[in-house]
Structure 1
């Protein structure tokens, strides 16, 4: 059968159309588009090593954690009462991811000194929030014969719980004046028990060598008994400050405490540093930022409840502690709001 050119052209066109239809029909249908799921922040579970039993920080951290868990998406957590040294060991071991600590103990952990000598330096500790300043407050009853620390040799005192900054600082100050715990009867008591034993006459002194002010337990004793503040030898102050990181010369301001007879405390020189909240460097920037933001936004309510915060301004939470760097997430927030220029 023969076709003329015109017929051939039509046949070719029809075949091309058929091939195109077949090719289109053989294509797999595109799967229906799946709607994108909204992004969900990774859960933040806060395991906090808190402060000692009976300390003002116990109330502060309870309020703070409640604010964290209600204000930060997918955030849960709680605190275990503790002390700076074991808290930092817990941070190192992964038991905690947020800890209460004090600048002198943090510096010792970084350097592998004091109670960290055997375990070695702890790396990656970063400051999150700087809280209250600490200083030295040594008291005896006013009707006692003790006028100096040397007069207490052979007598009983409490430096608070073992492993706290009070404990470490007391040992350091005593060493600078040629004394040690062996020269005294030392009772490692939580603050509430130290307070009660002082009032009951079972303790001759409370030597809180690196503590917040006003301290709740000292306030309680001073409200019920006339006390005397023991001086801290200046050579002991300068010796400790020159040897250890995270420590500075401080002064308990005049008038912080109203004594039983209505008079005010004198200004008292001592050593001190800062209470602060620490995290590890591997905490996400977002989590660190969010915690700092919530703390700042709720600072006024903390200040109303915790006496030691009344002397602090919200921007003081960005005060730098020499040798202890801020976490990048904290630093980001502090720069955003102008706390750090």
Structure 2
């Protein structure tokens, strides 16, 4: 065998050892970046669990989470190719997909991650009982750049209220700073969303406890009449300490979005790996139990917004046509 043939064989062997093979698909090992949000919020918590489970399930496609300013930063970072994947809340994703106040994005959905029913939380000894009671009060609406303030803005607009005019609105640099501001009296309420959200958990677990404020049945109908992309969602009973009854509210689904040019075979492999590891992800983080292939199909505004590689997988397993 000539030296050149030996060299060619060595190169081929090295290339083979650097690739992962699963179900007939060969993908060269590479690291994928995942944009989350500021520490103390739900996205970093989810992102860490997602990256851990996915990397253990497929070491050939390791995922590394990266703290960002949240949804409103993750979208442009993805569009510039500075992130491979990013967590994005439902309202910023909706605005990007529809081209509201910006050009339509070409980003695609990798998976729906969890539903986010929006709520206010106050101290249990607070006099505030409904949303109208909070008018004129200091309210923490979430971290700058996150999707939470956008969700609340839509909800309040549906009730004829303006977030920055009818409330003393506070926007945080760090999502985790919100509960302390309510507990020590600097703010009357904290806005948040989801099941297992760290801010709600901190408030509900504090001495004295907490109370949640959601829109009434009539207010939900009023908001959805104006903004029908918001969905009726429920926080099940006992999701938080002291919360003995289910709470109905409105909100949206959050997503993992992928950069436009993420290769189809990479997206396919991620979808296959993710949905093969659904039970493990659920066992790792309670709110990740909603991260399923079926929920991705149900939550996507339309199937053409799902990444083509993911859609190929969903069609193979009979969840999409």
Alignment TM class, shorter chain as reference: 0.7 to 0.9
1:64 to 50, 65, 78: 50
Task: Please give the root-mean-square deviation of Cα atoms over the aligned residues, in Å.
Answer: 3.0
State the alpha-carbon separation in 1 of the partners of residues 249 and 63 from structure 2. 39
State whether structure 2 residue 62 is matched by structure 1 residue 80: no
Distance of aligned partners of 1:103 and 1:56 in 2 relative to their CA distance in 1, 3 Å threshold = closer
Tell me the TM-score normalized by structure 1. 0.76
Contact 1:126 1:279 in 2 (8 A): yes
Distance of aligned partners of 1:242 and 1:112 in 2 relative to their CA distance in 1, 3 Å threshold = farther
In terms of Rg, which structure is larger? 1
- Which residue does 2:89 correspond to in 1? 102
Deviation at residue 295 of structure 1 after TM alignment:
2.2
- Which residue does 2:19 correspond to in 1? none
Contact 2:112 2:291 in 1 (8 A): no
- Which residue does 2:78 correspond to in 1? 91
Deviations 1:251-305 (A, max 9, x none): 333332331xxxx343333211111101133211111112222323333333223
1:204 to 162, 183, 188: 188
User: Residue 146 of structure 1 aligns to a residue in which SS?
Assistant: coil
- Which residue does 2:24 correspond to in 1? none
Deviations 1:162-187 (A, max 9, x none): 23222012112222223222222222
Unmatched runs of 5 consecutive residues or more in structure 2: 17-26
**1:171-190 matched pairs, under 5 angstroms:** 171-180=153-162, 181-189=164-172, 190=174
State the alpha-carbon separation in 2 of the partners of residues 67 and 147 from structure 1. 40
Contact 1:106 1:246 in 2 (8 A): no
1:158 to 140, 163, 166: 140
Contact 1:56 1:306 in 2 (8 A): no
Deviations 1:41-75 (A, max 9, x none): 45634232213321243243234334555625375
- Which residue does 1:23 correspond to in 2? none
State whether structure 2 residue 205 is matched by structure 1 residue 223: yes
Distance of aligned partners of 1:200 and 1:77 in 2 relative to their CA distance in 1, 3 Å threshold = same
State the alpha-carbon separation in 2 of the partners of residues 31 and 193 from structure 1. 64
Unmatched runs of 5 consecutive residues or more in structure 1: 1-29
Deviation at residue 145 of structure 1 after TM alignment:
1.8
Contact 1:92 1:122 in 2 (8 A): no
The more displaced of 160-169 and 265-274 is: 265-274
The more displaced of 139-148 and 312-321 is: 312-321
Distance of aligned partners of 1:234 and 1:294 in 2 relative to their CA distance in 1, 3 Å threshold = same
Deviation at residue 76 of structure 1 after TM alignment:
6.4
**1:294-313 matched pairs, under 5 angstroms:** 294-310=273-289
State the alpha-carbon separation in 1 of the partners of residues 32 and 228 from structure 2. 28
The more displaced of 305-314 and 273-282 is: 305-314
State the alpha-carbon separation in 2 of the partners of residues 139 and 186 from structure 1. 15
The more displaced of 220-229 and 313-322 is: 313-322
Distance of aligned partners of 1:301 and 1:315 in 2 relative to their CA distance in 1, 3 Å threshold = same
| Count of residues in Structure 1 that have an aligned counterpart in Structure 2 | 301
Distance of aligned partners of 1:237 and 1:139 in 2 relative to their CA distance in 1, 3 Å threshold = same
